[in-house]
Structure 1
Amino acid sequence: MENYTVKEGKTAAIISYITVFGTIIAFFMNNSKKNSFTSFHIRQMIGIFLLTMINKYIVYDFLGTTASYVAFILIAILWVIGFIGAVKGEEKLVPYVGQQFQNWFKNF
């Protein structure tokens, strides 16, 4: 990836990892002038957010508190990996589900 593309999109990529509101802000920041680095991290964060909602509304309700805590820890690890990748300027897929996030949300 070009260093200029990373440098130009790094701020919005980092913002995308700061809650769902950060993802929305980064989406609009990236909307006018598409940056592939920012788009990559927005897609990763949309996927992580959806995993969080699945954990909150499905895992917790049907499998209980313990399963939800374990899932939360795993999701938090995915978030940290994605955030560190954005800070370092890398397009690092989150383990196991990162490629699916890129395919599912390729329009973002």
Structure 2
Amino acid sequence: MDIKTIEEGKSTAITSYILVVGVLIAMSMNSEKRNAFASYHIRQALGLSILFVAIGYTLSGFSADAPEILLPFWLCMTVLWGYGLYTAISGQMRPMPIIGTLCQKVFKTIGA
């Protein structure tokens, strides 16, 4: 991928990692003029957001008195979000550990 494409899609890619609503904003930003770099990161962020909501909903049944359950969840999500944001800022297209390749396969029609 050329540098021009990366620079044009960088702001959209970064926006996609702003919590759950950032994915929707980034999809809107990328809808007219599709950018492959932005689409890649939108798919990554969408998968991460869905995972966050699904696991968060499941863990919401546990009380806040159970940090041994909630702390690893928050730590893992923070590390994955930080990794995704770092790769978007640095202009890289590396999949997130564990879920990145699956996100690209499942959401392949987004931004295509």
TM-score (normalised: structure 1): 0.91
- Equivalent position amino acid for 2:92 in 1: E
The whole-number CA distance in structure 2 between the counterparts of 1:92 and 1:20 is 20
SS at match of 1:94: coil
Residue 65 of structure 1: how far off its partner (Å)? 4.7
Q: Which runs of 5+ in 1 are unaligned?
A: none
Corresponding residue number in structure 1 for 2:4: 4
Task: Indicate the SS of the match to 1:32.
Answer: coil
Percent same amino acid at aligned positions? 36
**What RMSD, in angstroms, separates the aligned Cα atoms of the two structures?**
1.6
Superposed displacement of residue 60, structure 1: 3.9
Q: Which 5+ residue runs of structure 2 have no aligned equivalent?
A: none
Distance in 2 (alpha carbons) for counterparts of 1:95 and 1:55: 17
Q: Which has the higher contact order (CA 8 A, sep 6+)?
A: 2
2:25 alignment counterpart: 25
| Displacement over 6 Å in runs of 4+ | none
2:61 and 2:37 map into 1 onto residues whose CA distance is 36
Q: Report the Cα offset of residue 92 of structure 1.
A: 1.5
Distance 1:35 1:24 in 2: 15
Q: Distance in 2 between matches of 1:56 and 1:65?
A: 14
1:79 pairs, out of 47, 66, 81, with: 81
Q: Which protein is richer in helix relative to its size?
A: 1
Counterpart of 2:3 in structure 1: which amino acid?
N
The CA deviation at 1:20 is 1.8
The match for 1:92 is 94
Letter aligned with residue 75 of structure 1 = M
Aligned partner of 1:106 in structure 2 is 108
1:40 partner SS: helix
